[in-house]
Amino acid sequence: MTLFTLIVFIAFLAIVFIMVPRVLRVFSGKRLFRIASATVFVADVFVALTAVFGGITVAAGVDKFPPAWLTGTVFSSYLIPGLILTVVVGGSATAAMFATLCERDAGTLFSGVAGGILLGWLVGERLILPSVAFAPQFWWLEAIYVAAGLMMLVPAAAIRWVVHKSPSRQTQARQADWLRE
């Protein structure tokens, strides 16, 4: 499992360092605009890799969780939750990652939706699983994923708001200048 984690970490670093310059070209504009876009992209990559590979390990039974945690839920095994994590959470983050590489509007829309899906997954876990499933020593892990979801949702929403609000003609001209800087 440690080797698997190392491979995912190396893939994360490789994707980020290779693709961030492209993201900065897609989201050209003021420095704050570029920082927000890089933040969204890094969170997209992190969630895409960890949700897809984490979901696969859960569905395949590599990550062993007690079956008792599923008592009282609609799930009889971890196969379906693992597939949901892979396809829905990981798939949406993967789509957001590729959309962010291609076009600003699509990237911000997909990233915002994927961030909302991730946060919904985390809330769903809290509502469905018993409290014993959330060991106090792993609070930091959930905090990382809440932060990643917010890093996908908040900057994407801010970029969309700045770009799509309906300003006056004078403000539109200033905004166009702002985006070109």
Q: Report yes or no on 81 lying in a domain.
A: yes
Q: Report yes or no on 61 lying in a domain.
A: yes
Contact 107, 26 (CB under 8 A): yes
Domain that holds residue 131: 19-175
> CA-CA distance, 43 to 107, in Å (whole number)?
12
Q: Report yes or no on 5 lying in a domain.
A: no
- Tokens at 30, concatenated: 């003021």
Q: Report yes or no on 27 lying in a domain.
A: yes
Q: Return per-residue pLDDT of the chain as tens, 181 residues.
A: 577 778 878 888 888 888 888 887 777 777 888 888 889 999 999 999 999 999 999 999 888 888 889 988 899 999 999 999 999 999 999 999 999 988 888 989 999 999 999 999 999 999 998 888 888 877 888 999 999 999 999 999 988 888 777 555 556 666 666 666 6
pLDDT score of 170 = 59
CA-CA distances (angstroms) from residue 84 to 7, 17, 90, 97?
A: 22, 29, 8, 18
Positive or negative torsion for Cα 179, 112, 32, 28: negative
pLDDT score of 27 = 76
pLDDT score of 172 = 62
pLDDT score of 178 = 63
For 35-60, the pLDDT digits (tens) are 888 899 999 999 999 999 999 999 99
The count of structural domains within the chain is: 1
- Tokens at 123, concatenated: 């809330």
